Structure 1
Amino acid sequence: MSRLRVVNLALPKTGTTTLTDALRHAGLTVADWRIRAGQSTRDDIPRMHVGKIIYEDYFASGDPLARLDEFDVINEMSAVREDRSLWPQTDWGVLSAIQKCHPGVKFILTMRDPAKTADSMMRWNNLGKRRLPSADIPGLPRGFGRSEDQLARWLSAHYAFCHHVFDGADNFMSYDIEDPDAQAKISAYLGTDLPWWGQSNVGKPAAKATS
């Protein structure tokens, strides 16, 4: 039986942390956003963003997962801050290289209602209000994304991109984080039991309007 390798194509605030927690409860090793201390036996990737590792290895060897072999799952690949804007989940060159180098890989797309996600992005630290509109992002050039409507349009376009490039592929599935059957669908697709499913990394509630 071949090893299970999973790559999530999701954007931030769509439920990626919930998936990470669920897969870790299932006994899988997950690289989520950054390699933290103690998560790798290597000395060259701790504290690095997953997206930076992916791009360094893609351009160095052609295999975006070359130094991530310890991990069964790659989740939350993007990283955006003043000195970097990395979005491997939007890059067909990277995704096709992963598929070529790891033929058994399973791609998954965590989705959430775009309007709700945009609202969450605006409330999550400075993600929606400063970091996203200040960065050059595929589908969201610098200066765009300052409104929830623009963020929602970008999210919808990413969902459409993923469904288009993986149309008809048997190694791709998408699910809505609010689908009550999400746990069962993911379990069936991956062929592994998910003993836990819940809600992780919840953002602060929206401020109530005052009269």
Structure 2
Amino acid sequence: MSRLRVINLGLPKSGTTTLGEALKRAGLSVADHRIRKSQTDEAELKRQFVADLLYAGYFRTGDPLADLGEFDAIAECSYLTGPRSVWPQMDFGLIEAIRKHHPEAKFVATRRSTRAMARSMLAWSNMNDRLQRAQIPGLPYGYGETTLERSTWIKAHYAFLQRIFGRRSGQFLMLDVAAEDARDRLAAFLGIELPWWGRANPNPDPAFASGPREDRA
């Protein structure tokens, strides 16, 4: 039986932490944004960003998962900190390399309504300011201040993923984490039981915690 590998290609504030928690409670080893010291005995992996490890494997061996063998799943792969802005979920070449080296891998794209995600980015810490100061695929320096700009970027990313995988791919699931059947759809797609599903890491400001379910890409 082939090993289950799960890669989330969703954007920040799309439900990545909820997905990670659900997979952990299902018994999978999950890398989420950054490798915690308690997650590995490999000194060179501790505190490394998942995105940096993906690119290190990709450019060194051709396999983005080469340095992540002890992890079954990646819940969030991008990071934006200081001058560094790294977004593997927007890189066609890297995604195709994972598909080539791991044809059994399952790709998920967590999302909520476009408006809810755009509003949550505005409210969470200084994320909105960091988006504007960074060079991000589809959102160049100086853009991202308005809800319209963030929404345009969000829609384009999920349309990009649908174009890569197609709408009926058995390897890809677009997952609305706010949908009533989200857990059932994810469990069926992965072929595992999910003992938990809820909301992890919600926005601390209730006014931004949810939004109308609209504007699907």
With the shorter chain as reference, the TM-score category is over 0.9
What is the deviation of 1:188? 0.4
Shift in Å, 1:45: 1.1
Alignment of 1:37-116 (within 5 A): 37-116=37-116
> What do the CA deviations read for 1:69-89 (whole angstroms, capped 9, x no partner)?
100001210001222110000
8 Å Cα contact 2:20/2:74 also seen in 1: no
Rounded to whole Å, the distance in 2 between the matches of 1:109 and 1:189 is 12
Contact 1:109-1:173 at 8 Å conserved across structures: yes
Q: Which residue type is aligned with residue 158 of structure 2?
A: Y
Q: Distance in 2 between matches of 1:75 and 1:66?
A: 17
Q: Could you tell me which residue of structure 2 aligns to residue 14 of structure 1?
A: 14
Q: Deviations over 1:142-201 (max 9, x none)?
A: 110011111111111111000110004221111111110000000000000000000010
Instruction: State the one-letter code of the partner of 2:141.
Output: R
Distance 2:81 2:33 in 1: 13
Asked if the contact 1:123–1:206 (Cα under 8 Å) also holds between the matched residues in 2, the reply is no
Partner of 2:144: 145
Please, what TM-score do these two structures have when normalized by structure 1?
0.95
Structure 2 unmatched runs, 5+: 209-217
Distance in 2 between residues matched to 1:145 and 1:68, nearest whole Å: 32
User: Counterpart of 1:70 in structure 2: which amino acid?
Assistant: E
Shift of 1:41: 2.2
1:206 Cα offset (Å): 5.8
**1:195-210 equivalence runs, <5 A:** 195-205=195-205
Secondary structure of 2:39's match?
coil
Query: Bigger CA drift: 199-208 or 110-119?
Result: 199-208
1:4-23 residue CA offsets vs partner (Å, 9 max, x unmatched): 00100000001010000001
**Counterpart secondary structure, 1:107:** strand
Amino acid at match of 2:152: R
Cα RMSD (Å) of the superposition? 1.2
Q: Which amino acid aligns with 1:48?
A: Q
**Which position in structure 2 is the counterpart of 1:161?**
160
Paired with 2:43 and 2:2, the residues of 1 have a C-alpha distance of 27
Q: Report if aligned partners of 2:4, 2:104 keep a CA contact under 8 Å in 1.
A: yes
Structure 1: how far apart are the matches of 2:31 and 2:207?
33
Runs of 5+ unmatched residues, structure 1: none
TM-score (normalised: structure 2)? 0.93
Q: Give the whole-Å Cα distance in 1 for the aligned partners of 2:56 and 2:143.
A: 27
Task: Tell me, yes or no, if the aligned pair for 2:79 and 2:86 is still in contact at 8 Å.
Answer: yes
